[in-house]
Amino acid sequence: MNPAVLIASVYVFALAAFLGYQVISRVPPLLHTPLMSATNAISGISLIGSLVLAGAVRNQLSAHILGFVAVTAATINVVGGFGITDRMLKMFGKRKPQANPSREAAK
């Protein structure tokens, strides 16, 4: 890594940290569990590093195997994380019961 790239990376890191602080402190406590599971799914972005490790090197079995395990783990993180976040947010999207006559009818 040459110094110019390092400096650019530090900029990105600092700005992302600032932006993250701004954005995330606006999330209400109501949604803290989905928030954690969503950010966790997003950090499954290490999947792209895993993909490169698993596939971009020729004939190096150890790298392939490490890459395979990493791709599996990261994919679990991404698919499971987004799936469960969506399940939770669906529940929060529901209207108040008064505004939903079908539930009254179901009783």
Of residues 8 through 27, those in contact with other proteins by CB under 8 A are 9, 12-13, 16-17, 19-21, 23-27
Q: How many residues bind other proteins (CB under 8 A)?
A: 86
CB of 102 to other proteins, least distance (A): 12
User: Tell me, what DSSP letter sits at residue 86?
Assistant: H
CA distances for 52 relative to 46, 66, 69, angstroms: 10, 11, 13
Residue 1 binds other proteins (CB under 8 A) = yes
Least CB distance from residue 74 to other proteins, whole Å?
A: 4
Nearest CA among 95, 47, 98 for reference residue 75: 47
CA pair distance 69, 62, nearest whole angstrom: 11
For position 101 contacting other proteins by CB under 8 A, the verdict is: no
